[in-house]
Structure 1
């Protein structure tokens, strides 16, 4: 019988990003809503991921790092993330969310004293440009990108990067499945579409919604990671929101020469029903 797979159809990914969102850390000794252990969930994520042996180029957190912008919460998450990232050899990229506060976010996550201006940055990851865009509006929960930010973004995208660009922001430019979330979505999404159309942007990464979803904008894929703290129950009556302590997860982002692969990974162990190696499967298929 002919070998079912004599050679791979795709070369290995050029870049691998671990995409995590909405950790909502609280101060030491506290639980989110009195029941959700945000720190335990994130530690479980890293412990489970470490068993894969995978080595992402970067870990991108798309916002709502702290639930109320508390300094203690930022210190607490650094104590979890820094050693985990060092163990797998990955740099960490932080994105502002509507629950975050710029000054302590900058000081305690970015080791910067740049003040309360929008937290926007360009990071080169082995030829892949990752643009972090601050979509927050201080004192509010919806998302906006200012005129000054659009000027900055146009300049950042003026020249293509060797492996293209990812944009990471908290408020994703997608429709909201849950009606209440329309009140806190990214405003003027068409302007954002116009800003990235025709550029080398290969994908947009977001969070905020507390559930996984996927869309396109200006023909560019948008991937929204679920939360690690709690998630939204999508089986609710129209006009309702119901958070639940379950179905948490994270995303893997693999970039190939002509495509970007987004994969959803749930947090939490379940009983195994089978396990085999590539060699065993190849033998079985022969």
Structure 2
């Protein structure tokens, strides 16, 4: 797989999407079409001149009970890949079923009959470790394979992607929804070439660091948690968001982007340095 145009500047770009919750035969909460929002992300990237090396989707590809949405989602991901000239690397979430494996390719660790969909993918000088946390934890065999895969450094380093964040949300309603053995994962990553962990699940953006490894929890494409919801409840505001992640040899950053924005207060032309 080749590198995107952003690599020419020494910066690698990852378009990080999460929690698409695609549906079949109706809209999510009678209001949201996750696949249509995927299409809008593609248009945004083209209009904004974003040239990612990879598109990473961290799980909950479809809404629970909507497995019939996978074929339509596959078509949308193929269009996104073609439009942006970048591979789509998806992991499964707790809403996904075994049918999601058909979206993930046949490369990597998955053995015949395996219940996990872990994979390693190389995109230019980045290595991606794509982990199946659909049941809320990583099994010992998964961690052992990951340890073996990271035994030798690669290029600019490794980006680890999974659905469940390895640390808790600040929201009391989500405090117990993180990866059950997140500390174990982060201890394994410490001292390796892991540059970043990408996750989703919380439906709100969060940035953290543990053991020297940054963690970026991406917002959801279909709704965001209302952070001041009444205690004992959860609420979503319907905003569509995703993240732009940038890596250089020395730095990592992630920026949350809204698909809909208020009218600008001002607009001025700027000169971009060559």
TM normalised by structure 1 equals: 0.86
Q: Does 1:217 align with 2:210?
A: yes
Q: Does 1:249 align with 2:241?
A: yes
Q: Does 1:259 align with 2:226?
A: no
The match for 1:105 is 100
Task: Tell whether the 8 Å contact from 1:178 to 1:240 is kept in structure 2 after alignment.
Answer: no
Residue 116 (structure 1) shift: 5.2
CA distance in 1, matches of 2:210, 2:89: 23
Segments of structure 1 that go 5 or more residues without pairing to the other structure are: 1-10, 138-142
The match for 1:229 is 222
- Structure 1 residues 76-85 or 190-199, which shifts more? 76-85
Superimposed CA distance per residue, residues 88-108 of structure 1 (whole angstroms, 9 cap, x where no aligned partner): 101110111010012x1112x
Residue 69 (structure 1) shift: 5.7
CA distance in 2, matches of 1:236, 1:270: 23
- Equivalent pairs, count: 262
Task: Tell whether the 8 Å contact from 1:124 to 1:130 is kept in structure 2 after alignment.
Answer: yes
Q: 1:114 to 1:47 in 2, by over 3 A?
A: farther
CA distance in 1, matches of 2:65, 2:18: 15
The match for 1:119 is 117
* RMSD of aligned Cα (Å): 2.0
CA distance in 2, matches of 1:269, 1:184: 30
CA distance in 2, matches of 1:276, 1:15: 27
Q: 1:71 to 1:236 in 2, by over 3 A?
A: closer
- 2:127 paired residue among 129, 140, 150: 129
